[in-house]
Amino acid sequence: MLARLPLVWLLLMAALATFAFCFAIDRWMKERKLTVVFLVISVGCCLGMIAVGGAQVQNWNARQMLVLYSFAWTGLTIGMFPTRKLLITYGDEYRHGIQREKYEYPKRYFAALLFSVILMCFLAFVLAT
């Protein structure tokens, strides 16, 4: 259904999802280099998803993979929302030169992140076919 949209709209959807993710990381961590790294990783993941989708037996096309990427990245951003205070704290400590030996990431935050990404990927699968 969504894969039938013009390619420009799908690219805009992917760009908006990437922007939302990078904006959230920038707001929470307040580290520009990290934001740029996540931007490069996001673009690489998008291109990688398109390549892997074309190599599959089912042969998902680029439009379907752009829908999947957009929904997955939106789910990632939504799933990271509960951890924003924790990320702000870790970002402040990093900027002040404080390094912990181990950074705690509670299981409930990980569960929320996983649930959000899986739900959005399922929705993308339904809407892309």
Instruction: Please report which confidence band the pLDDT of residue 55 belongs to, taking 50, 70 and 90 as the band edges.
Output: confident
- State pTM to two decimals: 0.89
CA triplet 31, 43, 8: central angle to 5 degrees? 120
Instruction: Please report which confidence band the pLDDT of residue 129 belongs to, taking 50, 70 and 90 as the band edges.
Output: confident
CA distance 19 to 35: 10
For residue range 76-110, what is the model confidence (pLDDT) as tens digits? 999 999 999 999 999 899 889 888 888 888 999 99
Span 62-67, average pLDDT: 91
The answer for residues whose C-beta is within 8 angstroms of residue 114's C-beta and 6 or more apart is: 79
Residue 99 is classified by DSSP as: -
Tokens of 84: 């924003």
User: What value does the mean pLDDT of the chain take?
Assistant: 92
pLDDT at residue 45 in the model: 94
